[in-house]
Homo-oligomer: A and B are copies of this chain.
């Protein structure tokens, strides 16, 4: 298809598609003349992913390009895709934090983590440090409960990673990470209110 059709198919303006081409977020089409190129379904898929990364994914153009570069050679395993994608969305993690406590915890749970991504461990370390700085002690058994339910969530989510293309898998992982997080947090607060209503009596 021509670029105008690609625009119609994806709902992305031609000027934006040309910007993505210049920025190497989208691979070139096949030249059919000096001024025309043909695009195919691989471009449609890639555009859907790029839009997801730059929009809800919150990635910069440079971070998106880096991520796409790493997954464009199909990575040898699904967990590499996941690690690369996690690493990209973890860009804001404080990488100077002391990882010792986080690593001990991961070891305690017996979890194998991706060597592609150090950001998630840094995020865990940050969270642990925040609790400690505030003098907030988790109740006995809380950490194990959190790890167990998140393990259950992760198991389910991983069973549903699409396998038809690397693009689809990366899109699923990035959006599933970024967009599902606020969902989980909102559900926790509302579930707490329900638990409080049942425990302490119903307010009107």
Chain A interface (Cβ < 8 Å from any Cβ of B): 48, 52, 55-56, 76-80, 82-83, 86, 90, 102, 106, 109, 111-117, 120-121, 123-124, 126-128, 130-131, 133-136, 138-139, 141-142, 145-147, 149-160, 172-173, 175-177, 179-204
Contact = CB atoms under 8 A, between A and B. Distances in A.
Nearest to A79: B196
A115 B146 contact: no
Chain A residues touching B, majority SS = helix
A78 B145 contact: no
Contacts of A159: 199
A200 B192 CA distance: 35
A182 B191 CA distance: 17
B142 A182 contact: no
A190 B106 contact: yes
Nearest to A78: B200
A123 B204 contact: no
A48 B115 CA distance: 40
A112 B186 contact: no
A184 B182 contact: no
A146 to B, nearest CB: 6
Contacts of A135: 48
Contact of A188 (B52, B138, B153, B198): B153
B56 A130 contact: yes
19 contacts: A79-B197, A79-B200, A102-B186, A106-B190, A109-B194, A113-B193, A115-B204, A116-B203, A136-B172, A136-B175, A146-B180, A146-B183, A146-B184, A149-B152, A151-B191, A154-B194, A158-B192, A158-B196, A181-B185
Given A79-B200, A113-B194, 9 more contacts: A56-B133, A115-B203, A127-B183, A139-B156, A146-B183, A154-B195, A158-B192, A177-B189, A184-B184
A135 B90 CA distance: 22
A153 B158 contact: no
A98 to B, nearest CB: 15
